[in-house]
Each structure stands twice: as C-alpha cells, then as structure tokens.
Amino acid sequence: MTESLVTVNESEHYVLLTLNNGKANAINHEVIDQLHKGLDIAETQNKVVILTGKEGILSGGFDLKIMKSSPKNAVELVTKGSKLSLRMLSFPQPIIIACNGHAVAKGAFLLLSADYRIGVAGDFKIGLNEVLIGMTMHYAGIAIAASRLSDVYMNRSVVNAEIFNPKDAVKAGFLDLLTDTDALLPTAKKVAGMFAQLDKKAHAATKIRVRKKYLTQLEEGIERDLNSLSSIN
C-alpha cells in the first residue's frame, strides 16, 4: 500500500491537501501523483483547493536523492513537476496555498503556481535557489517565474538566486498575504469561503485569458526540457 504523502480532507467549500514527506517535505514522483489525485477530487466536486505543508515548511523542493542520482532522473522529476505547475496554473478552481514557513526551489514554484498565497511571518526562506546550488534554471521554471514575478524580481530570483524572507517575498510576488502561524489555516479557510462564492465558469475562463501567453510559454518550456532529456538518453 502506497504511503500517504498528501493527506486529503474534504469540507463543504474546499479540499485541503497537506504535504507530509519528511523533514523537508521533499517533492518526489509519489508526492506529485498524490497531489494530482487531490486535484482530481477538487475538480470533480467543483471545490476550492487549499494546499499546505507542516509547521515551519511548505517544501524544500525536489527530492535531492533523485536529483543527484543521474541527470536523466533529475530532468524527469523536474519535468513532471513542471506539468503539475501547468495544471495548477490552469486549474478551473481557485487554488490557495497556506505556506507554513520555508518554500524553496519547487516549494517556491508551488507558490508561483497558485492563485492566492498566504504565508507566515518569521525567519523563513522563500525563493528559487537553483543557480545557487549549481543548476541552470530549466525552461519551464523560467516560464513559471515570468508568469508571476516582475522583471526586477525575475532577475533577482531566477538569475541571482536571491532568497527572501516572508515580508520581502510578498513584494517579490511569491506571497500575497502574511499572517501569524496560528491564523494561517483559519485565514486560508476564510479565503476559500470567499472564493467559493465566485462564479466558477467565469473564474476558470478569466484565469485562462489572463495566463494564456504564459501557459503557452510553459508548455513550450516543458517541451524544451523534454528535448534535453532526449539528448541525455
């Protein structure tokens, strides 16, 4: 039986997805598969999504064991993560992230893939550290970042791998709102209640109109990353 790395809790107005995969809440193939299953439930039930992590961290990014095992394995996991972001950015229901603290690398990309992001004040790190740890940013990652960050913060985040505290992460575009730790989930649930009042068809159609250019760029980026996988093979 597959271990539950993403807990799913259903409520009247929302589906709550909670990441629970070790100290860093690492993103691996199983986590991505289980996130898709949670999104399937929310889509079928026409409900808002709340995605959260554990105390102090949303996610530290992709599973380093997989990333370091081989270039091929790294590209496969990154591309699978990019396809998750593509689904999130075009998801017909609103997606809220309740960010419990740190959100680095793919953790930060999750923030950039959601509709509304609530963080907590504190000594936490949020940002894209790929260049810092010796990784050339993948094409899909550039497209995701460009869809949510201004040119100034795009360069600071993607090119310079600058990491932000929660307050500055709001300015950069990774978060929309800060709250206290105890108020994080209650605030997310309140926002979910407000989003549940939106006309679902209008929300979905408008989201696609606003993001059409970036969704196209993301799809193209995924293809370019897949081509790099072919060259490795």
Quote the number of domains for the chain.
1
* pLDDT tens readout for residues 128-159: 999 999 999 999 999 999 999 999 999 999 99
* Strands lying side by side in the sheet with 48-52: 6-10, 14-19, 48-52, 95-98, 116-120, 177-179
Instruction: Check residue 3 and give its pLDDT.
Output: 72
The parent domain of residue 191 ranges over: 6-195
* pLDDT tens readout for residues 42-57: 999 999 999 999 999 9
Angle (CA) 62 67 176, round 5°: 25
Instruction: Tell me if residue 8 falls in helix, strand or coil.
Output: strand
Confidence of residue 1 (pLDDT cuts 50, 70, 90): very low
The predicted model scores a pTM of: 0.95
The answer to whether the CB of 102 falls within 8 A of the CB of 60 is yes
Does residue 183 sit within a domain? yes
Which CA distances in Å does 51 have to 76, 97, 132?
23, 5, 27
Count of all residues that appear for the chain in the document: 233
Query: CATH no. for residue 30?
Result: 3.90.226.10
Mean pLDDT of 214-225: 96
* pLDDT tens readout for residues 72-116: 999 999 999 999 999 999 999 999 999 999 999 999 999 999 999
Does residue 99 sit within a domain? yes
Does residue 49 sit within a domain? yes
Does residue 73 sit within a domain? yes
